[in-house]
Amino acid sequence: MKGLIYRDFCLVKKNWIPVFCISVGSVIWNILVQLSFEYGNLKKLVEENSGSGELARTVIYYMGLYMVPYLALILMDTLSVIRADLPVRWATNRKIFPVTALQWTASIYSIKVIGLLISVVLFLINGSVMAHMTGNSFGIYEFNNMLLFACFYLAFDWVQMAFLVRVRTEKEMNSASASPLLVLIPMFAVLFPKAKAYSAKFETLIPENAAIEAQEQIRLTKGLLQSEFGVYRDAVAPYLWLIVLALFALGFYLTYLGIRRREK
Amino acid sequence: MTDFENAIEIANLIKKYDGFTLDNVNFNVPKGSIMGFIGQNGAGKTTTIRALLNIITVDSGKIQLLGMDNIKDEIEIKKRISVVFDELPFQDIFSAKQIARILCDIYPKWDNQVYEGYLERFQLPMKKKVGEFSKGMKMKLQIATALSHGAELLIMDEATTGLDPVVRNEILDIFLEYLQDENHSILMSSHITSDLEKVADSVTFIDKGRILISGYKDEILENHGVIKCSKKDFQDIEKEDFISARLSDFGAEVMVSDKFAMKRKYDGLLLENTTLEEIMLFYVNRTKKEWS
């Protein structure tokens, strides 16, 4: 199977390098931004505009914390492999080799596991450094948040893989690329009314030109960002690893079924 | 290892599509021989090969390769055969060296020394990306990979199409070398009949999903012939005695399947030897009977 993984890796390498560089670059960028909040120009911004400055600092902190693994999760995306396989009719031609459908599936998922592990490592490095610099906590709570993001990403991924292994043409490829909408649209349908409700609440609490205590602003912002999300996350926290494994297993199985299928 | 007489056995193969049917295909490729599988474009050659390799489902029929069932023993079979299509199944970014790295893990009997030997013989660079290779170089690379893991059976689907005569000749010589080992066999599908006339031991001709002729090439060529006569003389030839006839302003060319019998029956008419290409042409037009 090493040969198959090597083949897939050669095909994703071209996309991995920029994604990896951007992810590592984001870690460095986060560190620089936090240093600026502590010692540089952004510190002045916070001091001069205590309310909105602290708000900005909080938002930037959380974006920095979770953006890095989300970017790195793109490393799990094997769309580029499937796209590269179309011109050489790999879906047909690979069947001349003595490789079982299980081995093919395992080689694709090996790339995904490597991508996921890199994402986790980058998240841990990024989070630890940022937490140390800002005095914020970084532990199981944040790790579970990251796993929850990974679950959403995996859900998109297995829907996409289920379609991708069946594609034979560019047109089918484009349809398959859009298949994660099957997960995204219902998610939107559920979350959009909640987001709208919070937005309305926030607007009533911060009327135009009203002055609000900085601490109250931060508490409110954190509350808005964490409350309902935190409820869901805490409810599933004990099962997150199981959910991750289950999503991986489901994606693996669907991919295997697609690869095993013979053409008509 | 199971002892077997035929490298490939196809019995009663039926595969239906809208507008096309592989209709009860039967033929065998004896071990140690090379069979030419000829037919026009769209005759069913590639569909038959894909059925052999279990790439497509079939409606009915039994297929055995190297004495093993093509579905139950699929992986074991594929370890012992090589398939060469008309295009290299690797992306342009790979080099010959990288392809070897992939395949050495897939084939248990991969021999890198043999592979490098072929690359040297074909003057193919190891580290250059195959995207920069010509069509002939890509085909030679495919042949090199096909012959580097001890395959007992080579299946070639239109592998020499689009190659110049020099490269084709080189490849055909390699096949003859390959067949020095009596355990090796080749099934070669092509519509370039001149290549098959050079190397094939037996020939199977398929047209519109049906096998029209299957047998030893020399026998087929020996038995078939073309009567060349005037249109007046052509009128005296009974319709059931010939396959089809090509008419022109100068006369008629009539393809017969039993040259000796026709020589006795139509004594006085000029009867010449024929080629596989002519046989193919006349058989394809058999339903018209007379054509120009």
Write out the two tokens for A125. 């490095």
Min distance B57 CA to chain A CA atoms (Å): 6
Q: A230-244, B6-20, B164-178: lowest mean pLDDT where?
A: A230-244
SS3 for chain A is CHHHHHHHHHHHHHHHHHHHHHHHHHHHHHHHHHHHHHHCHHHHHHHHCHHHHHHHHHHHHHHHHHHHHHHHHHHHCCHHHHHHHCCCCHHHHHHHCCCCHHHHHHHHHHHHHHHHHHHHHHHHHHHHHHHHHHCCCCCHHHHHHHHHHHHHHHHHHHHHHHHHCCCCCHHHHHHHHCCCHHHHHHHHHHHHHHHHHHHHHHHHHCCCCCCCCHHHHHHHHHHHHHHHHHHHHHHHHHHHHHHHHHHHHHHHHHHHHHHHCCEC
CB A154 within 8 A of CB A247: yes
Chain A residues with a Cβ under 8 Å from any Cβ in chain B: 1-4, 6-7, 10-11, 14, 84-85, 87-90, 92-100, 262-264
CB B247 within 8 A of CB B232: no
**R_g (Cα) of chain A, nearest Å:** 22
| From A6, A84, A99, residue closest to B91, measured CB to CB | A84
**Residue B285 half-sphere exposure toward CB, CA atoms < 13 A:** 17
The pLDDT of residue B22 is: 93
The pLDDT of residue A209 is: 47
- Does the beta-carbon distance from B101 to A94 stay under 8 Å? no
SS3 B225: strand
**Residue B67 half-sphere exposure toward CB, CA atoms < 13 A:** 8
Q: A144-153, B1-10, B230-239, B269-278: lowest mean pLDDT where?
A: A144-153
Helix A140-164 crosses helix A50-72 at what angle (to 10 degrees)?
50
User: In chain A, what residues touch B105 (CB-CB under 8 Å)?
Assistant: 1-4, 6
A130 vs A184, which has greater pLDDT? Answer: A130
SS3 B69: strand
B199 touches chain A (CB under 8 A): no
A140 vs A203, which has greater pLDDT? Answer: A140
User: In chain A, what residues touch B56 (CB-CB under 8 Å)?
Assistant: 262-264
Look at residues B47, B232, B61 and name the one whose alpha carbon lies nearest to residue B157: B47
The pLDDT of residue A45 is: 74
User: In chain A, what residues touch B151 (CB-CB under 8 Å)?
Assistant: none
Interface ipTM: 0.86
The pLDDT of residue B52 is: 94
Q: What is the pLDDT of residues B67-89, one digit of tens each?
A: 999 999 999 999 999 999 988 89
Which residues, in sequence order, are CB contacts of A236 under 8 Å at separation 6+?
A148, A243
- Does the beta-carbon distance from B83 to A264 stay under 8 Å? no
Write out the two tokens for B52. 């052999």
Q: Report d(CA A173, CA A177) in Å as an integer.
A: 6
Q: What is the pLDDT of residues B96-140, one digit of tens each?
A: 999 999 999 999 999 999 999 999 999 999 999 999 999 889 999
DSSP B95: B
Q: What is the pLDDT of residues A90-135, one digit of tens each?
A: 888 889 999 988 998 898 888 888 888 888 888 888 888 888 877 7
Mean pLDDT of A192-212: 58
CB A262 within 8 A of CB B54: yes
**Edge-to-edge strand list for the sheet holding B20-30:** B20-30, B6-17, B60-65, B68-69
User: Could you tell me the pTM of the whole model?
Assistant: 0.81
**Residue B5 half-sphere exposure toward CB, CA atoms < 13 A:** 2
Which residues are paired to B229 by β-bridges? B252
Confidence of residue B45 (pLDDT cuts 50, 70, 90): very high
Mean pLDDT of A229-234: 66
Which residues are paired to B20 by β-bridges? B17
User: In chain A, what residues touch B104 (CB-CB under 8 Å)?
Assistant: 3
Q: What is the pLDDT of residues A163-176, one digit of tens each?
A: 777 777 777 777 77
Q: Has residue A214 got a pLDDT over 80?
A: no
Mean pLDDT of B146-162: 91
Q: Which residue of A has its CA nearest to B92?
A: A88
Write out the two tokens for A145. 């948040």
The pLDDT of residue A213 is: 55
CA A63 and chain centroid, separation: 12
SS3 B230: coil
